[in-house]
Amino acid sequence: MNSNIETLTNRIINGERLSEDEAIALSISSGTDLFALFLAASRIKEHFLGNGIDLCSIINAKSGRCPENCAFCAQSAHHSTNAPVYPLVDEEQIVACAKDAEANGSHCYGIITSGTTINKGEELDRICRALRRIRETTSIAPSCSLGIIDFETAVALKEAGAETYHHNLETARSFFPEICTTHDYEDDVETVRVAKRAGLTVCCGGIFGLGETVEQRIELAMTLRELDVDSVPINFLNPIAGTRLADSDLIAPLECLKTIALFRLILPAKKIAICGGRERNLRDLQSWIFFAGASGTMIGNYLTTTGRPAEEDWKMLQDLELSVRGCCD
């Protein structure tokens, strides 16, 4: 299959799209074909995005008591977990964490809140005030992930200084009812469209290891391509005690890498960042994410779980001789 992968690579570099059937055929790659797939993804990433790496960080600005019943989420009110519960943090903390993220080398800083949506009034106003201050006092690009929002909210965030709106679809449309039944998949799709219409760049991806098939992973990638999102965060399930997926098996490291490579071939020019669950699922193969086509990663802690120390990620990048893009690159 190696020669076929090389032919597909050249076609993608020349602007052709990988079909769903071609992606499914590649998903069975193993042995030397699998490493040929990684090489293809690496070539495509370098062609469209160069060798620079994007780093992002987040703040869990409002935690717990979410009314949604997403099967994987430690913050869902439908689960009994040890996840922290607190209301929206104050403006000072949001700004201070942005400065810490900038000091750690992140180019993007995400303000994340639990819940179906953000409350208009004081909550939204507080976030907008923080966005203005972040723009005034740092060079980091602020992002928001506030759940399902309408056009008016998207415009307010844009005018306050948000550069990106983050809203994951989580999984394929065909599998979503197995994961969440408290809102419709189309609500999430419409939020992506609303954010784009307001002039925000859109960061939208999913989480793998929920029980979906390989075909459903590819289905998600095709949906993201159709929506023309700007960047794609890939997460791998880190099973949390008390959630419906607490007993799920981790994805094998090479399967994680294969998923990254397939997403790169389907979404050749998009930024792809590897985020939650990489430490547990990839283990010693974390550094391979970049060979498999990733163009970025999250450093620091996640929403309810701890990431590894930032200095370890910086050492990894140094060992790989990869440069980090600046905030305005």
pLDDT digits (tens, 9 = 90+) for 94-127: 999 999 999 988 999 999 999 999 999 999 999 9
For residue 73, say whether it is annotated as part of any ligand binding site. Answer: yes
Task: Write the CATH number of the domain with boundaries 44-319.
Answer: 3.20.20.70
Closest CA to 211 of 185, 188, 189, 236: 236
Helices and strands in the chain: count of H runs, count of E runs: 12, 9
Could you tell me how far CA 232 lies from the centroid of its own chain?
Answer: 5
Does 97 appear as a known binding residue?
no
Share of the chain above pLDDT 70, in %: 97
pLDDT digits (tens, 9 = 90+) for 303-326: 666 677 888 888 999 999 999 986
For the segment 258-267, the average pLDDT, to the nearest whole number, is 98
- pLDDT at position 327, please? 47
In terms of Cβ atoms closer than 10 Å to its own Cβ (0-12, 13-18, 19+), residue 177 is exposed
Distance set, CA 328 to CA 140, 195, 200 (Å): 8, 21, 16
pLDDT in tens, 297-309: 998 766 666 677 8
The rounded distance, in Å, linking the Cα atoms of 195 and 123 is: 19
Mean pLDDT of the chain: 95
Q: What is the mean pLDDT of residues 201-216?
A: 98
- The pLDDT-based confidence of 329 (bands split at 50, 70, 90) is very low
Res 267: pLDDT? 98
Residue-level pLDDT at 254: 98
Q: Is the pLDDT score of 49 beyond 80?
A: yes
Query: What's residue 307's pLDDT?
Result: 73
With cut-offs at 50, 70 and 90, classify the pLDDT of residue 234: very high
- How far the first Cα of the chain sits from its last, in Å, is 37
1 confidence band (pLDDT: 50, 70, 90): low
pLDDT at 30 over 50: yes
Place of tokens 């954010």: 195
Is residue 203 a known part of a binding site?
yes
Q: What is d(CA 300, CA 307) in angstroms, rounded to the nearest whole number?
A: 5
Q: What is the structure's pLDDT at 328?
A: 43
Quick one: which of 202, 162, 217 has its CA closest to 26?
217
